[in-house]
Amino acid sequence: NAGVMQNPRHLVRRRGQEARLRCSPMKGHSHVYWYRQLPEEGLKFMVYLQKENIIDESGMPKERFSAEFPKEGPSILRIQQVVRGDSAAYFCASSPWTSGRAYNEQFFGPGTRLTVL
Amino acid sequence: DAKTTQPNSMESNEEEPVHLPCNHSTISGTDYIHWYRQLPSQGPEYVIHGLTSNVNNRMASLAIAEDRKSSTLILHRATLRDAAVYYCILSEFSGGYNKLIFGAGTRLAVHP
């Protein structure tokens, strides 16, 4: 059973370019979360999605950032017109459908390390 | 979400027990206590969670104070692979998920 997969693992972009980060959740998981980790800091929650729906985007910057989790295919975190301050590790996590459960463990991927030159 | 307080760093010797403390004096009745850890250059990994009672699993034990204002993650026999940043997180289960708010965590060093 493959874990959460993220690609690319490393991404280099120049200022002003777009970055697309992909996350394939674990098989059977319908919930996806994105987190950002700046150097030497803890993870910051960005967004929580279920298939075709954004449930909680309270941690997403208001501009340039967007996320989607389509019916088919991976979840995408898109950063437009990247700036140096976007350089960070971006982690995706997934969890299963929670019907009947009182707790939902999150399984994290290995992350995408974005470097903006 | 309620905040937690953890020591910045701790050290242990291999094969000795490790007790990682966490204070959460403003915890609410519906907050779960979660522990995740992050090994170098990897994504976080679930360790254990609890609500009111002490919990044991194959990785660790979680001891929760009777008033729930503090908890302790116990690694029974530390190995070199346990060197990581350990995060103590509070969140309630609402809307079908636990919203995890990570703090700075405790960086655990394990010496051979």
The verdict on A44 touching B (C-beta cutoff 8 Å) is: yes
Give the mean pLDDT of A57-67: 95
Q: What is the pLDDT of residues B22-37, one digit of tens each?
A: 999 989 888 889 999 9
Out of A85-89, B28-32, B105-109, least confident range: B28-32
Rounded distance, CA B99 to CA B26, Å?
17
Contacts of B99 in chain A (CB under 8 A): 45, 48, 56
CB B23 within 8 A of CB B106: no
* Out of B32, B46, B103, closest to residue A106 by CB: B46
**Contact: B102, A103; criterion CB under 8 Å:** no
Q: What is the pLDDT of residues B44-89, one digit of tens each?
A: 999 999 999 999 999 899 999 999 999 999 999 999 999 999 999 9
Give the mean pLDDT of A71-82: 96
**Contact: A103, B44; criterion CB under 8 Å:** no
* Out of A31, A45, A108, closest to residue B101 by CB: A45
Is residue B82 classed as helix, strand or coil in its secondary structure?
helix
- Give residues with Cβ within 8 angstroms of A62, minimum separation 6: none
Contacts of B93 in chain A (CB under 8 A): 102-104
- pLDDT score at A86: 96
B22 against A40, higher pLDDT? B22
- pLDDT score at A65: 98
Give the mean pLDDT of A47-74: 93
- pLDDT score at A36: 96
* Out of A35, A42, A106, closest to residue B103 by CB: A42
Q: Is the pLDDT of residue A104 over 80?
A: no
Q: If contacts are CB pairs under 8 Å, which of residues 52-71 in chain A contact chain B? A: 55-56
Mean pLDDT of chain A: 92
- pLDDT score at A98: 64
Query: Residue A110 — pLDDT band, cuts 50, 70, 90?
Result: very high
Q: Is the pLDDT of residue A100 over 60?
A: no
Nearest residue of B to residue A6 by CA position?
Answer: B43
Count CB pairs under 8 A between chains A and B.
57
Give the mean pLDDT of A14-34: 95
Query: Residue A35 — pLDDT band, cuts 50, 70, 90?
Result: very high
Q: Is the pLDDT of residue A25 over 70?
A: yes
Rounded distance, CA A10 to CA A29, Å?
24
Q: Is the pLDDT of residue B1 over 70?
A: no
Contacts of B89 in chain A (CB under 8 A): none
- pLDDT score at B95: 72
- Give residues with Cβ within 8 angstroms of A22, minimum separation 6: A6, A7, A8, A74, A75, A76
- pLDDT score at A28: 86
Counts for chain A of helices (H) and strands (E), in that order: 0, 11
